[in-house]
């Protein structure tokens, strides 16, 4: 009995020690550097940090949506998701972004959900964050350009459309397929890889097309012609007439 009690006390002391050290290093950067040079202290800090991450994961698992089919179906079919069904996803992505503020995909999904909820200002803010965190991902730049275009800021739209079409399509494909945030959605589609690839091809074509129209309206005829030609090439079509009636909206990926 005494031994059992002793172990309990020792366990409590260890927890308190970890908490105290974590509190100290979170407020004193100079002390943190000193402690990180000490193997024992570093181990305690690492264990405490890992414990926090595990607790965050457990917390998120309780708040995760029951299903991602609502988003998956809307994205796969190219339809606008009913804004009444977006609240739960927004709550989840907000909580996840609080825990993991440096994950661009969470910012992007918040931007996507807010956009279709009709909150364009919030959507813009989150896509700005997404581009800041991951500037080399096509959809972050494309969606930010769409929002600037809808905000009647054509120069900003041209800027981010240019960035969108300049990034490596293979990299954007890898990010989409590797991201656990996006995987929750595309994995429920019938032919997910083809959907992601075709979506990117279509996205690049739309970006070139929109860029061409904006460049033309700003008097940059030669640049406009180049962009419109690239819209045709990237889509694998003979002309770009198929894009004329395409509604310009934010796309998840």
Which of the four pLDDT bands, split at 50, 70 and 90, describes residue 8? very low
Q: How many CB atoms lie within 10 A of CB 161?
A: 28
The DSSP call for residue 34 is H
Q: Rounded to whole angstroms, how far apart are CA atoms 250 and 124?
A: 11
Which of the four pLDDT bands, split at 50, 70 and 90, describes residue 23? low
Q: What's the mean pLDDT when you consider all of the chain?
A: 80
Residues 95-109 have a mean pLDDT of 93
In angstroms and rounded to an integer, the radius of gyration of the C-alpha atoms of the chain is 23
Residue 248 and residue 149 in contact, taking contact as beta carbons nearer than 8 Å: yes
The DSSP call for residue 235 is H
Which of the four pLDDT bands, split at 50, 70 and 90, describes residue 83? confident
Lowest mean pLDDT among 24-28, 71-75, 116-120, 186-190: 24-28
In the predicted model, is pLDDT for residue 130 greater than 90?
Answer: yes
Which are the contacts of 200, defined by CB distance < 8 A and separation ≥ 6?
138, 169, 172, 173, 176
Residues in the chain: 253
Distances (CA, A) of 76 to 73, 186, 188, 189, 220: 5, 8, 9, 7, 35
Residues 204-221 have a mean pLDDT of 90
In order of start, what are the domains of the chain with their CATH numbers?
2-62 (no CATH), 64-243 (1.25.40.10)
Lowest mean pLDDT among 14-23, 39-48, 180-189, 203-212: 39-48
Q: Rounded to whole angstroms, how far apart are CA atoms 70 and 82?
A: 9
Question: For tokens 């193997």, what's the residue?
Answer: 39
Q: Rounded to whole angstroms, how far apart are CA atoms 172 and 155?
A: 24
> What does pTM read for this prediction?
0.73
In the predicted model, is pLDDT for residue 89 greater than 90?
Answer: yes
- Reported as type and span, the H/E element at residue 132 is helix 120-133
In the predicted model, is pLDDT for residue 14 greater than 60?
Answer: no
Environment class of 186 (CB within 10 Å of its CB; exposed 0-12, middle 13-18, buried 19+): buried
The DSSP call for residue 208 is H
In the predicted model, is pLDDT for residue 117 greater than 70?
Answer: yes
């Amino acid at each position: 009995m005494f031994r059992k009690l002793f172990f309990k006390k020792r366990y409590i002391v260890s927890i308190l020690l970890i908490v105290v050290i974590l509190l100290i290093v979170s407020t004193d950067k100079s002390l943190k550097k000193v402690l990180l040079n000490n193997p024992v202290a570093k181990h305690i800090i690492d264990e405490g940090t890992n414990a926090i991450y595990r607790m965050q994961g457990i917390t998120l698992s309780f708040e995760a949506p029951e299903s991602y089919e609502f988003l998956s179906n809307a994205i796969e079919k190219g339809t606008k998701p009913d804004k009444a069904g977006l609240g739960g996803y927004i709550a989840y992505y907000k909580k996840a972004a609080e825990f993991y503020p440096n994950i661009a995909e969470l910012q992007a999904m918040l931007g996507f959900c807010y956009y279709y909820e009709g909150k364009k200002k919030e959507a813009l803010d989150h896509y700005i964050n997404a581009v800041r965190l991951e500037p080399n991902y096509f959809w972050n730049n494309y969606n930010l350009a769409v929002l600037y275009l809808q905000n009647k800021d054509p120069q900003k739209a041209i800027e981010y459309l240019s960035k969108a079409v300049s990034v490596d399509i293979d990299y954007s494909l890898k990010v989409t397929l590797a991201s656990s945030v996006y995987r929750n959605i595309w994995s429920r589609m019938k032919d997910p890889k083809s959907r992601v690839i075709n979506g990117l091809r279509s996205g690049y074509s739309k970006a070139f097309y929109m860029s061409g129209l904006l460049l033309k309206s700003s008097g940059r005829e030669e640049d406009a012609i180049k962009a419109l030609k690239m819209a045709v090439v990237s889509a694998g079509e003979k002309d770009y007439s198929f894009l004329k009636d395409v509604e310009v909206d934010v796309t998840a990926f």
